[in-house]
Chains A and B, each alone.
Chain A
């Protein structure tokens, strides 16, 4: 199959007149906007994939006078860099999406939480924000944005940790329930959406729900921006229709010697060559926030796993036992097996531990450490041991 097998889409970076779209959309009733987003089948593009329309609907249903829309621009998943590009190239569309959300849910203030690593974008975003505020004023839409910066903490991409961080605290995830739509930022109903998701809402408002709905598969509607890196001659950012198999992806992006693809970053899944054909990239298969990392046969999967585990031992917030201690045990455990200090059966213990972390950790971080761990250990056991 040739590269044409992958359908390129150009919605995210397409140059559009945001003002025009907003003029049209902000006149509509909130429930109409929400219905369109529901009909489009759009699911969150940060990775977790919660239906965006539902999130807006729940937030809209809350009676509080104060509600917030938060743009999650704390892109930190290893291998993901698409939000940086989106904010760099089409910030107006991102803010436009927030304006649409504000209308849909009834928020007057929006926060953009940008990771500290992207601080170089701040001057540009502030400038764009001024233009946006002027536009809101002209359109008589009561909505203002605030820009907040992270300071080097992956966990702040977790929605409740992000709220804590905006509130001036340690970025530690909260207990759920309550969920953000009932009690989010400053305890108020909040819709928190990924950068890319917000841009898609703009495009859905422009082209209609159907246009988006026709793309992709039943479980994974629309297109998605992929961040492609690793052993590939074509590293970069690509917007593709959802629903492809890993095999087709590798045909397009591989270097001819791809042995595994890590889909979804350090918290995602490792797909080995033998499963390329049967694995769909999307919510019916392996979901991803966009991170697609290819490994060829020169790579040691032990090193890959070690690197990920090292990442998690540092980036866990540290509050809950399974994640704080579990991550350290997984890392030290594979090291011990590698050095021969523990026998290979210890890996089975660690896989069980990863299973406990998945079901007993407080937030998505701890719950997903096991994804990479299990999929790498189970598929590349020899590489881990020897």
Chain B
């Protein structure tokens, strides 16, 4: 233990603790900007400087470990002056058009400027000198260099959590900036649109492309029929964006709010999550059969999931040799979109031209996914607009809805019913668990051998989790699987996914089924979810997801009556002709930068 004083108060902390953390233990808040609990220490914004008595310079409290008998002042005159200067310097290179900024009210720099009563700008405005550009080329992410304060949280996110490295620090000195490869537009580079950078950007330099006005127009247009689908993780995240605590389940209130906003029909992505399980489970079994029985050398195993559009774009760029391993199933969002303008329109007697399909997603990559040219199998753009959880929260505020006081409401039908297996899609390991619940039962006729259907080994926050399940006493038609130990792996965060794929490529690991979610924690930690995020928050959301599962009357996808109905009335059989037309897709090799 190390003894020190902070502002005259004694504290004893573990060796290696930073001054910042020691101060927090004593309930002294030291402001930070470049620091983020999910990322490595940078120590470059310098707003966290504190005074160490007897030291010549101030020290960055986030980057400096405590030492014995250290005497720290976090609010001395020296510290206050320096800190104010630093905030003013940041403001001088930041386009402070706060009232017009999308992040107004959510900007960490803005609140620091407020806390330190930075009044008239003392320094010369550097923004006009640098002639920064705003990159709006990506359908998911808008990058505005004039709002960037060079804290590099985004660069560290892209490298450390995602292993993508689409963003880098370029140039030096006054020209130093956050850049893509050769400063190319965001839509031309390996960016997966995951939006994790947005979740950690302290200012408005990285924000989602928002489609709020477009959606209002559609809702308020009397000639359209606007259907909305809500992804699993939205119902456990939305509350946070509206001032509730992390991990609060607000499914019923969310449905009520969407109805009040004026959507014609409030439906559930969870329905197509169940459908995904049937299609993807069938595909997996098909691949296993071709490999084990037909000895077909062209069949690709392991099969990977395909629900996470960040993961899809990542593998297209980084491991194009594995594209045939990716399940051909569209994501639940896109399955929903394709069905909304076909099956749903038919059933409801609507002209599909007039159906507008909107999705509410915890995700920014979904905006890109909806824009893919192959996502038009209904004959129209399958999903017209994708809004993030945050955008929905904003619409709810704009509409003046007192969210907290809403009475729970139920999803509309058809395509509104779902199971516990679908809602766990929102957490890392959820697709794997849902698939195993169904596949195991199809093959053996018995429930998965886990207490209460809860497949604990695939759950949790470890970056890579392996599990295997021994298949025994199969039904006669699946006898070839008797004695097969199905090897699964779950990865979340693309840096972990990269590691798994490298292991597969190098023959270091053999799997049958791989689940990848691009974002840390899975969709609940998605790039469209409320800000801030950290591991504690993601854990709370995870708990909420599994509680939601436990609360569902049906917890296996194949038992969803609406699923049975859609096969009977419309699709025919899993992986059948119609399914392939509407619910499956293909992938594209993309460049490596």
Contacts and interface: CB of A to CB of B under 8 A. Distances in A.
A326 B123 CA distance: 10
A316 B172 contact: yes
Contact of A362 (B43, B81, B129, B175): B43
Nearest to A317: B172
B174 A321 contact: no
Contact of B86 (A313, A315, A319, A356): A356
Nearest to B87: A321
A318 B171 contact: yes
Contacts of B122: 349
Interface in B153-180: 169, 171-176
Contacts of B169: 170, 318-319
B124 A360 contact: no
Interface in B4-63: 41-47, 49, 56-58, 60, 63
Nearest to A326: B89
A329 B88 CA distance: 11
Interface residues of B, number: 39
A336 to B, nearest CB: 6
Interface in B240-276: none
A367 B57 contact: yes
Contacts, number: 116
A285 to B, nearest CB: 17
A319 B81 contact: no
Contacts of A28: none
B152 interface: yes
B474 interface: no
A321 B152 CA distance: 12
A155 interface: yes
B82 A317 contact: no
A5 interface: no
A314 interface: yes
B92 interface: yes
Contact of B173 (A177, A327, A349, A361): A327
Given A318-B150, A325-B90, A325-B92, A356 B82 contact: yes
Contact of B174 (A175, A327, A359): A327
A325 B126 contact: yes
Contacts of B43: 175, 320, 362
Interface in A327-363: 327-329, 332-333, 336, 349, 352-353, 356, 358-362
Interface in B59-117: 60, 63-65, 78, 81-82, 85-86, 89-90, 92-93
A350 to B, nearest CB: 9
Secondary structure of the A contact surface, majority rule: helix
Interface centre among B65, B124, B150 (most CB of A within 10 A): B124
A312 B173 CA distance: 8
A49 to B, nearest CB: 14
Nearest to B177: A318
B242 to A, nearest CB: 34
Nearest to A342: B124
Contacts of A318: 150, 169, 171-176
Contacts of A170: 169, 172
Contact of B45 (A321, A352, A358): A321
A153 interface: yes
A329 B92 contact: yes
B124 A336 contact: yes
Given A325-B90, A325-B126, A360-B49, A315 B57 contact: no
A264 B76 CA distance: 32
A322 interface: yes
A367 B45 CA distance: 15
A155 B89 contact: no
A144 interface: no
B82 A321 contact: no
B46 to A, nearest CB: 5
A322 B150 contact: no
Interface in A8-64: none
B66 to A, nearest CB: 11
A360 B172 contact: no
A324 interface: yes
Contacts of A327: 173-174
A318 B175 CA distance: 8
Contacts of A336: 124
Interface string A158-199: 000000000000100001010000000000000000000000
Contacts of B123: 329, 333, 353
Nearest to A318: B176
Contact of A324 (B49, B58, B85, B150): B150
B22 to A, nearest CB: 15
B172 A153 contact: yes
Given A333-B124, A356-B81, A322 B174 contact: no
Contacts of A328: 93, 126, 174
Most buried by B among A316, A319, A358: A319
B85 A353 contact: yes
A328 B124 CA distance: 9
Nearest to A153: B172
B90 A317 contact: no
Nearest to B41: A175
Contact of B85 (A314, A322, A362): A322
A359 B44 contact: no
A201 to B, nearest CB: 27
A161 to B, nearest CB: 10
B420 to A, nearest CB: 47
Contacts of A332: 124, 126, 129
A177 B149 CA distance: 25
Nearest to A319: B44
B217 to A, nearest CB: 41
Contact of B82 (A319, A349, A359, A362): A359
Contacts of B44: 319-321, 362
B64 A175 contact: yes
A361 B59 CA distance: 9
A315 B124 CA distance: 20
Interface string A249-286: 00000000000000000000000000000000000000
Nearest to A331: B174
A7 B420 CA distance: 88
Contacts of A361: 46, 57
Contacts of B129: 332
A163 B149 CA distance: 26
A312 B174 CA distance: 9
Interface in B384-422: none
Most buried by A among B43, B89, B172, B175: B172
A177 B172 contact: no
B67 to A, nearest CB: 9
A360 B46 contact: yes
Contacts of B41: 175
A283 to B, nearest CB: 14
Which of A326, A349, A352, A359 neighbours the largest number of chain B CB atoms within 10 Å of its CB? A359
Nearest to B149: A321
A336 B176 CA distance: 23
A324 B86 contact: no
B57 A358 contact: yes
A346 to B, nearest CB: 9
B45 A324 contact: no
A228 to B, nearest CB: 28
Contacts of B89: 321-322, 325-326, 329, 353
A177 B66 CA distance: 10
Contacts of B173: 312-318, 324, 327
User: Which A-B residue pairs are the 6 nearest by beta carbons?
Assistant: A318-B176, A325-B89, A175-B63, A356-B85, A175-B43, A319-B44
Given A315-B173, A358-B57, 11 more contacts: A170-B169, A170-B172, A177-B64, A314-B173, A317-B172, A319-B42, A321-B89, A328-B174, A329-B89, A329-B123, A360-B86
20 contacts: A175-B60, A314-B173, A317-B173, A317-B176, A318-B169, A318-B173, A319-B42, A319-B150, A320-B44, A325-B93, A325-B126, A327-B174, A329-B92, A329-B123, A353-B85, A356-B81, A359-B82, A361-B57, A362-B44, A362-B60
